[in-house]
Structure formats: C-alpha cells, structure tokens
C-alpha cells in the first residue's frame, strides 16, 4: 500500500512517545519510539506533522485517549502489513469495547478458527496499530496477562486506564498473589537494569 501523502506525528504519552502515520482519518502505523521495541518503521516520503494537531485528527484523538477524554477512536485503519488472517484478527479486535477483555481463544472462535488461539496470538503480536486496534484487551484463557510487544507493564497500565484492571480472575499481578510471584513492576525494573546505559 502506498503511503504517499501520509503524515507522521509524534505523540508523547505517559507510557512513551508514539509515532502515528496517517492520511486524513486513516491510520496506517503506530510505532512506539523506544529502542528494543518491535516497530514497523516510518515509510520514506512521510511528512512530519507538528502540534497543535487539528481537532479530530488521529494524533489528536490518541492524545485525548491518554488524557482520559476519549474512549473510542473515530478513524479508519489501513495497515501496511499483515496476512488475510492477521487482518481478520485485527478487525475483530476493533469490536472489543473499552473496559472489556477477551481471550485469544474467544477471538479465534469469533473469526471462525476455533482452536487457533496460538495463531491468533501471533497475529495480535504483529498488530501495527496498537492502542487504536486494542490488542492490549486480549488476555489468556485464565484471565492472565500474556505477551505484549510494548511490554506487559504497559498492557497493565492501559487496562487500568480503561477501568478493566485488575482482571476478574487470577492475573500476573492481580488481587490474589501466589507466593513468590513476580509483579509487572518487578519485571519492568529487571528489564531496565539489563538495558545498556546511554552514552
């Protein structure tokens, strides 16, 4: 897909700065601008859009979401990557309302592939438009927090921001801790300690 005429805007948030690639009301890519995080990359020829962002524009909507002023995105999506299966999964993710979570297995059933929870997990992990396509609202079969390309601590933050944390059942850091269980904050600290220091 061509990105000719597309803009890229940097949107600082409490969980990091996101690069939003869009054309009008259509979002193509949302990358987290952080070393070590999987990124789609900004296409060549994309023009930089600086704030203030126009009302209703995708970067303005993303900013409003993190400010707690928006619970639904009024945009179209046009991912630049993905197989037909991936796109079916992403389309189903768009149906999950804020404040709710769905399991990988349930997504698989909804798109007509019962038993394909693992394949759904792969498609969720390849989502090039996180937040707008809410892959953070997908959880494990026992309501645990599972892999998230932007970091599990961000997944927990997003769910808390939307009012769906702690999860109803057992979770990686829910209301019922197992003895010796690591919390997401512990993992974040450990991960940060392993990162090379900046020069």
Residue 128 sits in a domain whose CATH number is 1.10.10.10
* Confidence (pTM): 0.81
What would the two tokens of residue 122 be? 């792969």
Of the listed ranges 100-109, 163-172, 173-182, the least confidently predicted one is: 173-182
Answer yes or no: is 2 within a domain.
Answer: no
pLDDT value of position 35: 87
CA–CA gap between residue 55 and residue 174 (Å, rounded): 37
Same domain, 139 and 154: yes
Same domain, 94 and 61: no
pLDDT value of position 192: 44
Same domain, 138 and 102: yes
CA–CA gap between residue 37 and residue 54 (Å, rounded): 28
Same domain, 91 and 71: no
pLDDT value of position 126: 96
CA–CA gap between residue 61 and residue 68 (Å, rounded): 11
Catalytic residue among 93, 135, 152, 158: 135
Mean pLDDT along residues 61-76: 97
102-103 and 138-139 beta bridge pairing:
parallel
pLDDT band at 181 (very low <50, low <70, confident <90, very high): very low
pLDDT band at 144 (very low <50, low <70, confident <90, very high): confident
Mean pLDDT along residues 171-197: 38
- How many residues are listed for the chain in this entry? 199
pLDDT value of position 43: 93
Greatest alpha-carbon span in the chain? 54
Q: How far, in Å, are 20, 37, 102, 117 from residue 66 at the CA level?
A: 14, 20, 22, 29
What would the two tokens of residue 77 be? 């999506």
pLDDT value of position 88: 98
Residue of 126 and 180 predicted with greater confidence: 126
Q: How far, in Å, are 9, 83, 121 from residue 86 at the CA level?
A: 25, 5, 10
SS (HEC) of 25-81 = CEEEEEEECCCCCCCCCCCCCCEECCCCCCCCCHHHHHHHHHCCCCCCCCCEECCCC
Same domain, 47 and 89: no
Does residue 194 register a pLDDT over 90? no
How many domains does the chain fold into?
Answer: 2
pLDDT value of position 56: 97
Domain that holds residue 134: 84-190
Is 135 a residue of the active site? yes
Answer yes or no: is 105 within a domain.
Answer: yes
pLDDT value of position 102: 95
Answer yes or no: is 199 within a domain.
Answer: no
Answer yes or no: is 1 within a domain.
Answer: no
What would the two tokens of residue 74 be? 């009024």
CA–CA gap between residue 123 and residue 90 (Å, rounded): 8
């Amino acid at each position: 897909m061509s990105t000719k005429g597309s803009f890229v805007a940097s949107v600082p948030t409490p969980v990091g700065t996101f690069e939003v690639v869009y054309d009008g009301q259509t979002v193509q890519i949302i990358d987290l601008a952080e070393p070590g995080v999987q990124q789609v990359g900004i296409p060549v020829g994309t023009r930089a859009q600086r704030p203030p962002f126009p009302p209703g524009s995708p970067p303005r909507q993303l900013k409003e979401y993190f400010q707690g002023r928006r619970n639904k995105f009024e945009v179209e999506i046009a991912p630049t990557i993905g197989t037909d299966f991936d796109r079916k999964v992403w389309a189903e993710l768009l149906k999950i309302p804020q404040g709710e979570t769905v399991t990988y297995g349930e997504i698989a059933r909804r798109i007509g592939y019962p038993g394909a929870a693992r394949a759904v997990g792969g498609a969720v992990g390849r989502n090039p438009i996180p937040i707008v396509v809410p892959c953070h609202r997908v959880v494990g079969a026992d309501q645990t927090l599972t892999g998230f390309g932007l970091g599990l601590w961000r997944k927990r933050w997003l769910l808390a921001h939307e009012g769906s944390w702690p999860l109803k059942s057992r979770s990686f850091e829910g209301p019922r801790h197992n003895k010796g269980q690591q919390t997401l904050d512990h993992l974040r600290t450990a991960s940060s300690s392993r990162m090379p220091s900046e020069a």
